[in-house]
Amino acid sequence: MTQRNDSIQPHGGSLINRVATTAERDEFLNQAKYLPRVQLDQRALSDLEMIAIGGFSPLQGFMAQGDYETVVTDMRLANGLPWSIPITLSVTETVADGLKDGSRVRLDNSTGKFVGILELTERYHYNPAHEAAHVYRTNDPKHPGVEVVYGQGSVNLAGPVWLLQRDPHPYFPDYQLDPALSRAQFQAKGWKTIVGFQTRNPIHRAHEYIQKCALETVDGLFLHPLVGATKSDDIPADVRMRCYEIMVTHYFPQDRVILAINPSAMRYAGPREAIFHALIRKNYGCTHFIVGRDHAGVGDYYGTYDAQHIFNEFHPQELGIIPMMFEHAFYCIRTQAMATTKTSPSLPEERIHLSGTKVRELLRNGKLPPAEFSRPEVAAELMKAMKL
C-alpha cells in the first residue's frame, strides 16, 4: 500500500525541536562563563545539530545508558522503538569527573565557540569493543567507525541538549533544508510519495539509473547528500554538491527533484547505517528510501546486500518508511543502456563496472571516466577538482 506524505509522522510521532528560543538563548549566554565546558569534535557537533533540528527524532539529546545498551545490542531504544546507531557524547574520565549530574554543561565547537547546552542527567562507562562488534560487526581498528569508537573518551555524557542558534551552513546555505522545511516543501509541491537518496560519493550513472527508476513510481525525489564528517580520502562535499547541481540542471526534471544537504556525519556502519539513514529521511518527510549495493559500507567488512537484508529484521510498519531495493547497476554493452542483472541479458564481460577507487585512480592519472560510468560534465568537474 502506498503511503501518503500527509500520514508520514516523524519517527516516534513528533518532530523534535531543540533550537533555543531568543529568551532561552539569552539565559544560556548569561550563564556561559560560569558553566563547565565540553568541546565537541566534528561528529558530535553534527549530532548536536541533527538532534536540535529533528533529524534524529525522537532523540532530544545524547543517549542515556538504558537507550545506549538496547540500541547497541537490539537496535531499539529502551521503549522498543527501532533505532540502530548509538548517539553518544564521549569524554575522558578527567572531564567527566569535573561535571555534576543535574547541571548544565556548555558545549563548544573546536574553536571554542559556545554552540549548545547539555542538561547532564547521567555519566556512564561503556565497552568500546562490545559497541564495535555489534554496531560495526568488526573489532578491526582499521575500520573508520571502529577507529572513532576506540579513540574516544571512556565515559558517555547523557541528557537533553539545546542548540544555541541555527546558523546558515558555512558552505551550502542555499541547500540547508531542515526537516520542518522539507516537509513543508513536499506539501507545497503536492507530493504524497517521496523517495530519499543518501550518498557520500559523487553521482555516477548507476546512481542516476536507480534514482530515475525510483522516480518512475513516486511523486518526488529528495536528493540528500551527506556533508558531515567523512573519511579523508572521500571526495570533498563541495565537489559532490557541484556534481549534483550539474545533474539536476541537465539530466533530471527539476520540478520533481529537491536537492538538500544532510548535515550528519558518516559512521560507515553498513547495514545498521542503512536503517539509520532511512529513519533520518522519514523524519525529513520521505515515504520511501533507496537502498543499493553495499549501502554505507567500507572495504570488505559487509556483504554486498547486507544493508538490504537487515530491513527484514523489522516489521515495515514499525520503521514507517518503505525501502526500495536495487541491485548493482552497470552499463550493458549489449543493450547499450544502464541495467542490472534483473533486466540485462548480458554476459559478465558485456558489463562496464567501475569502482570509486578506480575512478579516483583514473582522475589522478589525468584520465576522464568513460561516458558509460559518468556524465561528461560530472567527469570534467571531478577532473577539475583533482587538479586543485
Active site residues: 200-201
Burial letters 248-260, b for 16+ CB under 10 A, else e: beebbeeeebbbb
| Distance (Å, whole) CA 128 – CA 330 | 39
Within 8 A by CB and 6+ apart from 192, the residues are 2, 4, 5, 6, 219, 287
Beta-carbon contacts of 147 under 8 Å, excluding residues fewer than 6 positions away, are 141
User: Would residue 275 be called left, alpha or beta, if left means φ above 0 and alpha means ψ between -120 and 50 degrees?
Assistant: alpha
**Collapsed DSSP state (helix, strand, coil) of residue 122:** strand
Q: Which residues of 328-358 are buried (b: 16+ CB within 10 A; e: fewer)?
A: ebbbbeeeeebbbeeebebeeeebeebeeee
